[in-house]
Amino acid sequence: MRLLWALALCCVISLVGESAAQDIGSLINKDLFEKMLKHRNDGNCQGKGFYTYEAFIAAAKSFGAFGTTGDVNTRKREIAAFLAQTSHETTGGWPTAPDGPYAWGYCFLKEQGNPPDYCVQSQQWPCAPGKKYFGRGPIQISYNFNYGPAGKAIGSDLLHNPDLVATDATISFKTAFWFWMTPQSPKPSCHDVITGKWRPSPADTAAGRVPGYGVITNIINGGIECGKGANARAEDRIGFYKRYCDILGVSYGNNLDCNNQKPFA
């Protein structure tokens, strides 16, 4: 009887240990988060005090495969890649910024300037009267056809309340994780690319799309940044990624740019 009890206890401890090891918080604690997004709470940043570690972790845990898929190095690369791409979208850095341009991610909540409404005709995701769907949050989610399904996936009516992405930090992070984890054909998900699950089709191979961080840039903004040789925007994304990989102590992997990749159709 004692042996059976001991074996059962051992199994419980093992499962708890495995669960703890797969917890994203075991790879990025609050101090590390603060180091990576060092100047996001600078007085000149629009997002000062908004993008909290607690909101990041809560949102990440609602997408259980994020940061928990694959070996430790794969998991670290996914965290680095996510924070890099979203840091580029929200950057407040400049070439001679204190601590370098890649220490200024998550400075902005909303698309800068005077953006359009980003409302297009859609029977499934019709625009709500008077609402605007310009870029908000870490991924700068835009257009009604993204706000609608993102809101449905996370349980918030973002078609009628798009400003929640700029006023509720957990919802804001959830929209970014939704985009990251969700394939939108013919594009794979960013998650599947960085964790090695995506395999190029013959069409991908013909278009020069090869596994690596560069394909994620292609997914997010390929029409503007990919297939045009080296350019400042794509290089900025790589700069953030390298800094975060260095902080997390993981190698970068291959194929970081999309210079010779055709955009997805």
pLDDT in tens, the chain (265 residues): 443 443 333 433 333 333 334 689 999 999 999 999 999 999 999 999 999 999 999 999 999 999 999 999 999 999 999 999 999 999 999 999 999 999 999 999 999 999 999 999 999 999 999 999 999 999 999 999 999 999 999 999 999 999 999 999 999 999 999 999 999 999 999 999 999 999 999 999 999 999 999 999 999 999 999 999 999 999 999 999 999 999 999 999 999 999 999 999 8
pLDDT of residue 22: 64
Give the pTM: 0.91
Residues of the chain with CATH 3.30.20.10: 111-167
pLDDT of residue 101: 97
CB of 235 within 8 A of CB of 88?
no
**Burial group, residue 68, by CB count within 10 angstroms (0-12, 13-18, 19+):** buried
Catalytic residue numbers read 89
Please list the residue range(s) of the chain that carry CATH number 1.10.530.10.
Answer: 26-108+183-265
- Homologous superfamily of domain range 111-167: Endochitinase, domain 2 (3.30.20.10)
Determine the CATH number of domain 26-108+183-265.
Answer: 1.10.530.10
Burial of 191 (0-12, 13-18, 19+ CB in 10 A): buried
Q: What is the dihedral of CA 19, 66, 85, 36, to 10 degrees?
A: -10
Provide the 3-class DSSP secondary structure of residue 110.
strand
Q: What is the pLDDT of residue 96?
A: 96
Whole-angstrom Cα Rg for the chain: 19
